[in-house]
Amino acid sequence: MRMRPTLSWTPTDDLPPGTTDPQPVADALRFGGVLVLSGAGISTESGIPDYRGEGGSLSRHTPMTYQDFVGGPQARRRYWARSHLGWRTFGRARPNAGHRAVAAFARHGLLTGVITQNVDGLHQAAGTEGVVELHGSLDRVVCLSCGTFSPRRELARRLEEANTGFAPVAAAINPDGDADLTDEQVGDFHVVPCTVCGGILKPDVVFFGESVPVSRVEQCRELVRTATSLLILGSSLTVMSGLRFVRQAAQDGKPVLIVNRDATRGDVHAVTRVALPLGTTLTTLADRLGIPVEGETSAGIG
């Protein structure tokens, strides 16, 4: 069963206010057993925009849905032209202070795991191991006919060869790697098929309107069950794919802590929401805990 896309959420007046005191998060980290759930907000300082923050991409961009993607070749041509261009930008992105701080917490045994809603691979590039990519990753491609997986860099090479000279200037790049292009800029962009069976290729990411694989959801639920607390970093929790884990933790009596400048759909379940920028906040927390945060690391996807 596919979920209807949830693109927006309006905060209510009865939500608890945010705070500028990150001490409750420091206390939870010091105790250990913390499960991190990150969203697009942790990657904004790496130059990748979020969906719903100030200036977020949903104010000007409607993401491709699974139904549109499989519905016709023109939609796939538009998607792959835009995504091919956006991929180049994603490949240049580097982990920021927030990603590096999470990696430091993990190295020092404070975390039981990291679940990310992002598809940019920046947690792994910062050195965090065993990240559960809730919505998949842009660095893999899957055939919808035969199920074969292949590296995105190989598809990028094939698309470059099939579309020599394709280099339009995008108005913006979106969190899903989709570049804003007009229909004229897309033109007659040539989409390539699966090399195994000739089927339709799709990035190994969960589109809006598509369900997260059941096995992945259960893996995340188990991580919530074994955690002491749940720490949300940079997510509005608008979509149920992430919110359900917040509800699960709250129902189990486990503290939910949020670091996000704007109100979130999970605030009613949280013991605190720290309304501060992620990079500086997480770096400050590492300093309080006496944990060194390593400098710039390797590139993300690509």
Q: Which of 291, 256, 290, 261 is nearest to 276 (CA)?
A: 261
44 labeled binding residue: yes
Helix (H, G, I), strand (E, B) or coil at 271: coil
47 labeled binding residue: yes
| Cα 299–Cα 80–Cα 93 angle in degrees, nearest 5 | 15
194 labeled binding residue: yes
Instruction: State phi, psi for 53 to the nearest 5 degrees.
Output: -70, -175
Q: Distance between CA atoms of 88 and 251, rounded to whole angstroms?
A: 42
Instruction: Note if 135 is an active site residue.
Output: yes
63 labeled binding residue: no
| Cα 98–Cα 104–Cα 108 angle in degrees, nearest 5 | 150
Q: Which of 99, 135, 190, 269 is catalytic?
A: 135
59 labeled binding residue: yes
Q: Distance between CA atoms of 76 and 192, rounded to whole angstroms?
A: 10
134 and 223 Cβ atoms separated by less than 8 Å: no
235 labeled binding residue: yes
278 labeled binding residue: yes
198 labeled binding residue: no
51 labeled binding residue: yes
Annotated binding site for Zn(2+): 143, 146, 194, 197
Annotated binding site: 39-59, 117-120, 143, 146, 194, 197, 234-236, 278
Q: Which residues are catalytic?
A: 135
